[in-house]
Structure 1
Amino acid sequence: MRLVYCLVYYLCIPLILLRQLWRARFDRRHLARLPERFGFVRPLTGEHQQLWIHTVSVGEFLGALPLIQRLLARENCELIVTSMTLTGSERIRHALGDRVQHFYMPYDLPGAVRRFIRRVDPDLLVIMETELWPNTLAACRELGVPSLLVNARLSERSARGYARLPGFTAEMLSDLSRAAVQQRADAERFHALGLAQDKTQVTGNIKFDIEIGGELRSQAAVLKSQWSVGGRRLIWMVASTHAGEDEIILETLTKLRRAGIDAGRLLLALVPRHPERFERVAALIAERGFTLERRSGGATPPPGVDVLLGDTMGEMKLLFGASDIVFMGGSLVDVGGHNFIEPAVWARPLLSGPVLHNFTEVSKLLIEAGALQVVQGSEDLATALQALVEDESLRLAGGRAALQVAEANRGALDRTLGVIDSMLQP
């Protein structure tokens, strides 16, 4: 079965490269460092333990950042951090600079992966969340590199997909050394697919261990004061939207304006998930007749501006702190939602659409606590927002409930570090 997988993957390489070429029409960086994708990286030699941490894109990297920072504080540890996407790569470089060795993850081809492993010589591969690649795991096992899946989650939907190829999935999971999973339900799904029970440990979700420093809180407070015009205007942040969602959000804003909630009372801060969509969303805002200010311009939106377009990278935490109400995207289209934990730590009342299969357990906790309202479309969303805009006590109660959920679920980071330490012991 793995032979069939390799054949299919090889056949897909031309399509993958064509996609990169297409993207390079707009941004030449999509073609930069292409040899890394085939494992051609500079050889590394180190005196200390070398940990290879893979975070597929921005979301996984930000989730792993507290873990990475704790490991970097150790004198005997050097880190190799890989990603698959341009945005993930840029975020790693911006956040960590030369404190880590950073490369693109090689394509999951036997030769490319073995070449990469031999050149970077890791003592342990740590994979964030769900990024399982058969040839990568097999190469690690063959070359004596243990592999650990951390903050592991497996939704019912994903489990059904893996179950369609039971032999292939079981063989892949047999190459995985260990999994530190978020919830008992995740562990049970992994076990059902063939992962041995003695390879799993429930450690919780390390994203709950996020820290917001004093400097960031101060910056957010200043920004919030500016955007809110001294507290006279609320900020409704819509984070990480995908194609098809922006139209629903703007339709909701139209309903709110018709209900008498004008730009002087509510500013929409709209942040698309992918930077290549910034211009399209800006055009869509203009088509709908709304006035627009860009975050990249640095100016404070005047009271008459309807929408602030979040067209910068690496500012999501700051923008959550500057907001009053947060809607998480990826939930009105078939994406599965995005991370609610960061706005919860900022004590913000939360809204989302109904498609939440990527964050089933977290969303369940927040819904049960009264911190998250799930809406079906623009009509529901407009109703929920109008209530939050008009009732400060409702906003405060939702925010407090969100923060309580976040604080009650801390501790996963220490448990995950314990698993890593146990695997690094000779």
Structure 2
Amino acid sequence: MYQLLWHFLLPFAFIRLAWRTRHSSQYLHHFSERLGFSYGSSVQQNAIWVHAVSVGETRAAQPLIEAYLERGEKVLLTHMTLNGRLTGATLFAEGIASGQLRQAYLPYDLCWSVANFMRTFKPKLGLFMETEAWPTVVFYCAEIGLPLFLVNARLSERSARRVNLFGSAGRSLFQAFAGILAQTELDAQRYRSLGVKQVEVVGNLKFDVPLNATLVQDGKLWRQELHATGRFMVCAASTRDGEEELILSAWKDLLRSNAFASAPLLCMVPRHPERFSEVASHILSSGLKFRRRSEWNKVPKVDMDLEVILGDSMGEMAMYYSAADLVIMGGSLLPFGGQNLIEACAAGCPVLLGEHTYNFQQAALDAIAMGAAKRIQGELLLSEPIALMESLKLILSNPTELAKMADAAKIYATTHQGATKKILAALEHQNFTLN
């Protein structure tokens, strides 16, 4: 039944890719790989296979992949999205150039495409990042005896309930993994509730991801320029559909409050680049004065007339975080489950969270407990987002408290490092990697 559904949906997948070419023709590049064919002559066999579906998972996998490359291992890195592949190409350009690392798209979850992928690459170990669990791939690996692990694994309470809706079929999918290396004890307990026996808590790889030093320096210079004029900057990071209007409405109220000698600046960075133009239209409609980040070749210059900057660039979050005094974490204001707050804390930038953080539950709770983050107090309503405005005004009006939160953010980020070593040790203990 599952395979029949996939065959039915396949034409729609093709149409979706073709539709996305309106943003970039690269969506159709390597198209045959999505069907398990045409990998060219640079096939990487007997490699460590890491599957990172998109940008966030690719960045999270960076310390683990770099550790394997340093050991001289060959790495096959697969993705499902174009942005994930482009991110991997940037992060691992040296490994790709040397032939030690090979990128490809994971094929659609069809028996024949998955079988051809496996026959072509013959990986010796598979590592799926965070939440990926494609039934055909997982069960095929179990059938041929390829050890496949879910690493940096997380499972929200909501997702666990959804898996249980499928009964034994849903639970057997996760039981088919050779092992699950979970981020937190909460995640591990949820996997165990699905009947998974081989579960180990190793921490979160995202704490081990290094910030780009050049971007950090650029952000600090930008922040110094802003502070020289008395301005704070708030970064609304990884915002999702519907959240931008809420934030812009609150920002207008904040500016009207005249609570600051120099008006703060908002930097809004949407989660998905295909929404940059849409968000630009929202800002224009709000009546706030704004410019796009892409209009500057280098670090944006201080302009006292600007009220909003649209962060329409890829790969510069470390700069935005290093320039900002406070982050509003997107995905948490509306029920999207939240986004990763670790990178912001690593840059020493405290975080303001909405109530919807179920995808990063433990990370959010720990950050709040350590004073690196706060939750918005009150109900968030688009018609009257006073809770967000009041939370922003309260934090930004207290520089001493803001500085304490920034220090706590750095401590929080460094305290939880070490997942890479734990994952490597756990896999070596299973004798599934070469020494």
Give the TM-score normalised by the residue count of structure 2: 0.91
Alignment of 1:342-381 (within 5 A): 342-375=343-376, 376-377=379-380, 378-381=385-388
Q: 1:45 deviation in Å?
A: 5.4
Q: 1:286 deviation in Å?
A: 0.9
Count of residue pairs the alignment pairs up:
418
Q: 1:229 deviation in Å?
A: 5.7
- List per-residue Cα deviations over 1:190-217 (Å, max 9, x = no partner): 1221212xx1111111212233365443
The one-letter code matched in structure 1 to 2:288 is F
Is the Cα–Cα contact under 8 Å of residues 180 and 202 in structure 1 kept in the other structure?
yes
- More deviation, 6-15/117-126: 6-15
- Give the secondary-structure state (helix, strand or coil) at the position aligned to 1:179: strand
Q: 1:44 deviation in Å?
A: 4.9
The one-letter code matched in structure 2 to 1:424 is T
The one-letter code matched in structure 2 to 1:96 is F
- List per-residue Cα deviations over 1:148-207 (Å, max 9, x = no partner): 1111111100000000012212322232111111122212211221212xx111111121
Alignment of 1:19-418 (within 5 A): 19-40=16-37, 41-42=39-40, 44=42, 50-75=47-72, 77-97=73-93, 98-99=96-97, 100-196=101-197, 199-212=198-211, 214-226=213-225, 228=226, 230=228, 232-261=230-259, 264-298=262-296, 299-375=300-376, 376-377=379-380, 378-418=385-425
- Give the secondary-structure state (helix, strand or coil) at the position aligned to 1:424: coil
Q: 1:340 deviation in Å?
A: 0.7
Is the Cα–Cα contact under 8 Å of residues 166 and 193 in structure 1 kept in the other structure?
no
Q: Whole-Å Cα distance in 2 between the matches of residues 158 and 26 of structure 1?
A: 31
Question: Cα gap change, 1:11/1:45 in structure 2, threshold over 3 Å: closer, same or farther?
Answer: closer
For the aligned residue pairs, the C-alpha RMSD in angstroms reads: 1.9
Question: Cα gap change, 1:121/1:396 in structure 2, threshold over 3 Å: closer, same or farther?
Answer: same
Is the Cα–Cα contact under 8 Å of residues 242 and 329 in structure 1 kept in the other structure?
yes
- Aligned residue among 6, 13, 18 for 2:15: 18
Question: Cα gap change, 1:135/1:302 in structure 2, threshold over 3 Å: closer, same or farther?
Answer: same
Is the Cα–Cα contact under 8 Å of residues 217 and 319 in structure 2 kept in the other structure?
no
- More deviation, 412-421/160-169: 412-421
Is the Cα–Cα contact under 8 Å of residues 236 and 266 in structure 1 kept in the other structure?
yes
Is the Cα–Cα contact under 8 Å of residues 43 and 119 in structure 1 kept in the other structure?
no
Q: 1:56 deviation in Å?
A: 0.9
Q: Whole-Å Cα distance in 1 between the matches of residues 349 and 44 of structure 2?
A: 44
Match status 1:9 vs 2:15: no
Q: 1:107 deviation in Å?
A: 0.8
Q: 1:87 deviation in Å?
A: 1.2
Is the Cα–Cα contact under 8 Å of residues 44 and 102 in structure 2 kept in the other structure?
no
Q: Whole-Å Cα distance in 1 between the matches of residues 335 and 321 of structure 2?
A: 24
- List per-residue Cα deviations over 1:61-113 (Å, max 9, x = no partner): 111112112222112x0111111111111111122122521111111111111
Is the Cα–Cα contact under 8 Å of residues 351 and 372 in structure 1 kept in the other structure?
yes
Q: Whole-Å Cα distance in 2 between the matches of residues 418 and 231 of structure 1?
A: 50
Is the Cα–Cα contact under 8 Å of residues 55 and 87 in structure 2 kept in the other structure?
yes
Question: Cα gap change, 1:364/1:283 in structure 2, threshold over 3 Å: closer, same or farther?
Answer: same
Is the Cα–Cα contact under 8 Å of residues 263 and 303 in structure 1 kept in the other structure?
no
Is the Cα–Cα contact under 8 Å of residues 337 and 359 in structure 1 kept in the other structure?
yes
Q: 1:369 deviation in Å?
A: 2.1
Is the Cα–Cα contact under 8 Å of residues 216 and 347 in structure 2 kept in the other structure?
no
Q: Whole-Å Cα distance in 2 between the matches of residues 42 and 143 of structure 1?
A: 24
Q: Whole-Å Cα distance in 2 between the matches of residues 191 and 389 of structure 1?
A: 43
Give the TM-score normalised by the residue count of structure 1: 0.93
Structure 1, unaligned stretches of length 5 or more?
Answer: none
- List per-residue Cα deviations over 1:280-303 (Å, max 9, x = no partner): 111111111111111111142411
- List per-residue Cα deviations over 1:307-352 (Å, max 9, x = no partner): 1110010111121111111111011222100001111112212102
Question: Cα gap change, 1:231/1:71 in structure 2, threshold over 3 Å: closer, same or farther?
Answer: farther
Q: 1:38 deviation in Å?
A: 0.8
- More deviation, 17-26/160-169: 17-26
Is the Cα–Cα contact under 8 Å of residues 42 and 119 in structure 1 kept in the other structure?
no
